Homo-oligomer: A and B are copies of this chain.
Amino acid sequence: MTAAAGPGSEELAQGVLEGRARAIGRAISEVERDSGSVPDILRRLFAQTGRARILGITGPPGAGKSTLVQRLAQAYRRAGHRVGIVAVDPSSPFTGGAILGDRIRMAEIYTDPGVFIRSMATRGTLGGLARATSDAVDVLDAAGFDIILIETVGVGQDEVDIVRAADTTAVVLVPGLGDDIQAIKAGILEIADVFVVNKAEREGADRAVSELSMMLDFAGHPPWRPPIVKTSAPSGSGVPEAVGALEGHGAYLAQSGEGRHRRALRARSRLLALLEDRFRRAVEARAPEPDGLEEAVRAVQERREDPYSAAGRLFDALVRGARGAAAGRPS
């Protein structure tokens, strides 16, 4: 099924801008499978983006993130906001649009027309999933959702890359993690603007809070010290405090200029990823040519040329205009 750019994209974009759920869902499906119409759809939507507040919710499996996300969505709804949710699971091989799963996981908010929920899972490369997440956030933003929650399952580099699309990120942990807090890769702690100790009804919640607090003491005095909030998602206890912590960070972002700085970094890494994608396609397109990749592979395999020299030659052939600027290293 190929979706070419054209009147279809225009209609779809119009539907998204009018906030119609079916158009939003279809646009995210296009984004998810990286169809040819994505650049055209995004081009039509992009001027209407940049208004939503984007929140990342991440943490290890079993931390109760889905229930917490549902509670947060309800809290924002009560405050009069429209809420979009993108749930991303980098480790899952299942395709997106896991509607049944969404329905079960977030039953209480699923029928609320002021909430849009969408799951996305690994398809192809992970870089692709970070791109798809950014694009899906743009779709929801253009559709007029004020609050967009990105939920990821996991604690690896993959999740870090995905929640980078957020303005504010909450890392959700649970009591009893104990020494495992150290085992969580440093990267995920570094992206925390807010810590949520969920399942706080369990034994060890206060200990988890004081361990996190000690860890933060250890990190010195950054301009923003992530607050630590205890929640119990099923009962909803602590959820107003969690919203308060998220919004407190939002105020900090606005006042300090850090928010603008983060969005610039995000635009930069997004552009770089799209550029690299284009470059890969260009290399592949020229691979069979006499000065292309396939001949270079043969040269390397037959030891006629080393990989660095071959890459340099290929690069020069491909990027003629950039030859001077590309001299980042001797070769």
Contacts and interface: CB of A to CB of B under 8 A. Distances in A.
Interface stretch (A79-87, A103-111, A292-300): A292-300
A78 to B, nearest CB: 30
Contact of A278 (B4, B42, B312): B312
A279 interface: yes
Q: Lowest 6 A-B CB distances belong to which pairs?
A: A281-B328, A320-B321, A46-B306, A274-B311, A39-B308, A282-B326
A220 interface: no
A309 B44 CA distance: 11
Contacts of A5: 330
Interface residues of A, number: 72
Copy number in the complex reads: 2
Of A93, A293, A307, most B-chain CB atoms within 10 Å: A307
A309 B5 CA distance: 14
Interface string A1-16: 0001100000000000
A319 B282 contact: yes
Contact of A301 (B267, B285, B301): B267
A320 B272 CA distance: 18
A219 interface: no
Contacts of A274: 307-308, 311
Interface of A: 4-5, 36, 38-40, 42-43, 45-47, 49-50, 91, 93, 126, 134, 156-157, 185-186, 260, 263-264, 267-268, 270-272, 274-286, 293, 296-298, 300-301, 303, 305-312, 314-315, 317-322, 325-331
Given A36-B329, A274-B307, A315-B278, A286 B46 contact: no
A322 B330 contact: no
Contact of A279 (B40, B276, B298, B307): B276
A278 B311 contact: yes
A279 B315 contact: yes
Contacts of A318: 275, 319, 321-322
28 contacts: A36-B329, A42-B307, A43-B309, A46-B305, A267-B301, A270-B300, A271-B293, A271-B296, A271-B311, A272-B283, A274-B308, A277-B311, A278-B311, A278-B312, A278-B315, A281-B326, A281-B328, A281-B329, A282-B325, A282-B326, A282-B328, A284-B328, A285-B328, A286-B325, A318-B319, A319-B321, A320-B321, A320-B322
